[in-house]
């Protein structure tokens, strides 16, 4: 057998690697479209920008009809890894599911095709990562301050600092120093932010002070004209925040504040004395003013809700400020190193989030704020800069997209569709593209959101609540805030029938029992 000189072999490997694009998947947790200025209509744009995430929209494409298949952290991640809906990949909810790492995933397929694979940051799938040459992950939800990271040998190491900064540090270290420069790579850099309980970096403690950020028009939604199940949830800004965990108090607040016991601010407990001093200097006076105003009778019930909303939204956006800064660090390195020319960069999040809409925080419901998820992509030479796509896409599409981008065949059991035909069509859906999306939520006990599934197309959304047998039909063109279900309106009888037919069609297509 002819032997190839080692230097020549290395050269051949490098040339072959250069023909396959690298993939950098930048991912966050609970990032609402309303908090990304690349998405038109952000109500915070006057006071808050995401310039680094927006770079991807300017240099690539932003998908404005991007959705999750199951609006909870773990299930969404399982859908992304497998390209399959929750009932197929087995990770149904965060309460009882454990990801089966033996099943096929896109990192495994890419690894077999010669890619080096890495995941850094939030994993949240209970079992250890499989299919990765390198991983370093947060345990469970992870911590914002002085976080622990699980190492590949199973040990935990604590690192002093702010989690978002540390994940970016580790991401850059892997890109610069740890990867095999002769292989194409896929890197999943996955952040905790902006997940609850929204503790910012110290440099952002005072961001937005002296400013009242805009409220959503539906902050005081009375849930009329829709299922009674909406009133039974436990993710209400008015009733369900904890005085320690969510609202940043150290001691129990008066009953009039409408805040719950039970969850202290665990992030504060992790801080060093110096970190605690900075936190107390920022939040102490603000907390005392609220308590003084409450005691003096200067705040009525709606004023208290508004105060809680301001405390929530400011901290939420502060965590995103650090996220955006650190995404900028990664993008800068890709540009400066020359990697950007042959690297697909995607920014996404596991789902959207309620920023006071319907009086809520959290996710789960199929209403637009949590059903919609960000998807921005830069791919020089393939994705045209400045594209704003209206194609219906879902997180089960990521896996087949990555496989086709790497030149691999897409297995028949993957349920998503590769987005490359959309990319090549300047963001427009090709003629044979899907006509609707299927959504499922199991109804886990957390936050008491009713089990439901449903379908959506470009205009209409149909939800089914199996426990009550109810159907809910929304017309997003006439009612973009989804304040009225038209399921019983005779004028919508034909539409209801069409959406029920789509519901049955997609359930059959995706093998939903």
471-493 residue pLDDT tens = 999 999 999 999 999 999 999 99
Domain boundaries, the chain: 6-198+319-429, 228-312, 451-509
> What pLDDT is stored for residue 1 in this prediction?
34
Does 6 have pLDDT greater than 70?
A: no
DSSP secondary structure code for residue 193 in this structure? T
Return d(Cα 45, Cα 35) in angstroms, integer.
Answer: 8
| Per-residue pLDDT, 41 | 78
**Those residues with Cβ within 8 angstroms of residue 27's Cβ, 6 or more apart along the chain or in another chain:** 121, 122, 188, 189, 190, 191, 347, 348, 349, 350
Q: Which residues contact 251 (CB under 8 A, 6 or more apart)?
A: none
Question: Does the domain spanning 6-198+319-429 belong to CATH 3.40.720.10?
Answer: yes
**Rg of the Cα trace of the chain?**
23
Average pLDDT over residues 364-382: 98
Task: Check residue 480 and report its DSSP letter.
Answer: T
Is residue 123's pLDDT more than 70?
Answer: yes
Task: Give the H or E element holding residue 278.
Answer: helix 273-295
Question: Cα separation of 320 and 347, whole Å?
Answer: 13
The pLDDT, as a whole number, for residue 265 is: 96
Continuous H helices in 347-491: 368-371, 398-405, 420-424
Rounded CA separation 268/145 (Å): 8
Q: What is the mean pLDDT of residues 384-408?
A: 98
**Which percentage of the chain shows pLDDT scores above 90?**
94
- Residues 251-296: pLDDT tens digits? 999 999 999 999 999 999 999 999 999 999 999 999 999 999 999 9
Residues recorded for the chain? 513
* pLDDT, mean of residues 434-455: 96
The confidence score (pLDDT) of residue 2 equals 33
Topology of the domain comprising 451-509: Arylsulfatase, C-terminal domain (3.30.1120)
Per-residue pLDDT of 144-166, as tens digits, reads: 999 999 999 999 999 999 999 99
Dump strand ranges (E) for 53-143. Answer: 61-63, 66-67, 116-122, 134-138
Which of 40-44, 152-156, 430-434 bottoms out in mean pLDDT, i.e. has the lowest? 40-44
The answer to whether domain 6-198+319-429 and domain 451-509 are alike in fold is no
Please compute the mean of the pLDDT values over residues 356-376 and round it to a whole number: 98
Over residues 328-354, the mean pLDDT reads 98
Q: Which of 35, 99, 120, 86 is nearest to 373 (CA)?
A: 35
pLDDT at position 18 is 52
Could you tell me which of 59, 30, 49 has the C-alpha nearest to residue 334? 59
Could you tell me whether strands 460-465 and 470-475 are parallel, antiparallel, or unpaired per DSSP bridges?
antiparallel
**pLDDT, mean over the chain:** 95
pLDDT at 38 over 90: yes
Q: If you average pLDDT over residues 300-311, what whole number do you get?
A: 98
Number of continuous H segments (helices) and E segments (strands) in the chain? 13, 16
Q: What is the predicted pLDDT for the residue at 313?
A: 98
Cα separation, 292 vs 285, whole angstroms: 10
28 contact partners, CB below 8 Å, separation of at least 6: 190, 191, 193, 194, 323, 347, 348, 349, 350
Helix (H) or strand (E) holding 456: strand 452-456
Name the pLDDT band for 19 (thresholds 50, 70, 90): confident
What is the per-residue pLDDT across 286-296, written as a single tens digit (0 to 9) for each? 999 999 999 99
pLDDT on residue 11: 40
Strands (E), 351-415: 375-378, 387-389, 393-394
């Amino acid at each position: 057998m002819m032997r190839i000189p080692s230097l020549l072999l290395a050269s051949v490997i490098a040339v072959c690697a250069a023909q396959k694009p690298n993939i950098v998947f930048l991912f966050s947790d609970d990032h609402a479209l309303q908090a990304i200025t690349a998405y038109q209509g952000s109500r915070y744009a006057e006071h808050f920008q995401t310039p680094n995430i927006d770079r991807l929209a300017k240099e690539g494409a932003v998908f404005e009809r991007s959705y999750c298949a199951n609006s909870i952290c773990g299930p969404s991640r399982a859908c992304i890894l497998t390209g399959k809906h929750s009932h197929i990949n087995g990770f149904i909810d965060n309460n009882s599911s454990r990801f089966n790492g033996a099943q096929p995933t896109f990192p495994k397929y890419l690894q077999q095709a010669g890619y080096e694979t890495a995941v850094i940051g939030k994993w949240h799938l209970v079992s250890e990562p499989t299919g990765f040459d390198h991983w370093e992950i947060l345990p469970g939800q992870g911590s914002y301050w002085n976080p622990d990271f699980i190492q590949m040998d199973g040990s935990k190491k604590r690192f002093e600092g702010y989690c978002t900064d540390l994940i970016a540090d580790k991401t850059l270290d892997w890109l610069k120093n740890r990867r095999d420069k002769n292989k194409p790579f896929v890197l999943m850099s996955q952040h905790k932010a902006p997940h609850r309980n929204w503790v910012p970096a110290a440099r952002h403690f005072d961001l937005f002070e002296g400013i009242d950020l805009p409220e959503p028009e539906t902050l005081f939604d009375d849930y009329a004209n829709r299922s009674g199940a909406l009133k039974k949830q436990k993710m209400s800004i008015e009733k369900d925040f904890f005085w320690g965990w969510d609202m940043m108090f150290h001691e129990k607040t008066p009953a009039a504040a409408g805040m719950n016991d039970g969850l202290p601010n665990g992030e504060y407990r992790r801080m060093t004395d110096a970190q605690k001093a900075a936190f107390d200097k920022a939040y102490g006076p603000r907390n005392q003013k609220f308590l003084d105003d409450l005691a003096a009778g200067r705040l009525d019930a709606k004023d208290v809700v508004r105060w809680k909303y301001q405390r929530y939204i400011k901290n939420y956006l502060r965590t995103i400020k650090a996220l955006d800064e650190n995404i900028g660090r990664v993008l800068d390195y890709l540009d400066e190193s020359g990697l950007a020319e042959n690297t697909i960069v995607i920014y996404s999040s596991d789902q959207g989030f309620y920023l006071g809409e319907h009086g809520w925080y959290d996710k789960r419901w199929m209403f637009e704020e949590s059903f919609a998820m960000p998807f921005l992509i830069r791919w020089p030479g393939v994705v045209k800069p400045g594209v704003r796509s209206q194609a219906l896409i879902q997180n089960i599409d990521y896996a087949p997209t990555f496989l086709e981008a790497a030149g691999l065949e897409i297995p028949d059991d993957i349920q998503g569709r590769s987005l490359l035909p959309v990319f090549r069509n300047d963001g427009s859906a090709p003629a044979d593209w899907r006509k609707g999306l299927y959504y499922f939520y199991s109804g886990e006990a957390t936050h008491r959101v009713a089990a439901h599934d449903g379908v959506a197309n470009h205009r209409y959304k149909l939800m089914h609540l199996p426990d009550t047998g109810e159907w809910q039909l929304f017309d997003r063109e006439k009612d973009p805030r989804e304040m009225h279900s038209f399921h019983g309106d005779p004028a919508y009888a034909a539409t209801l029938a069409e959406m029920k037919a789509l519901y049955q069609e997609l359930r059959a297509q995706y093998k939903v029992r």
